[in-house]
Amino acid sequence: MSQRFKLQINQLPVVEIDAGSSLTLLEHLEQSGIEARYHCRSGFCGACRSVLHAGNVEYINEPLAYIRPGEILPCVCRVKSDLSLEH
């Protein structure tokens, strides 16, 4: 069985995703059914800003929007571990 990551988004029930998923974290947020915030979907506007409480992500494009401590830009990163975040 392929490895799964657990996503804890806001206070919602945990969702599981495939560890090898090529989707961005933003796309997973959308699939989880929450109302995702976004504009550019390419890392420069900052509209998708979220707070990462635990876990790791990997950027697939360099984020240009300012990232305050603890924040991530879901539109340009992939999930690399179990995550807990506030979107």
Which residues lie near ligand FES (CB under 6 A)?
38-41, 43-48, 65, 73, 75
Among other proteins, ligand FES, none, what binds residue 11 when CB lies within 5 to 8 Å by partner kind? Answer: none
Binds other proteins (CB under 8 A): choice among 15, 37, 56, 84 = 37
Contact between 27 and other proteins (CB under 8 A)?
no
Q: What contacts 60, CB < 8 A, 6 or more positions away?
A: 24, 76, 77, 78
**Are 73 and 63 spatial neighbours (Cβ–Cβ below 8 Å)?**
yes
Query: Nearest distance from residue 82's CB to other proteins, in Å?
Result: 25
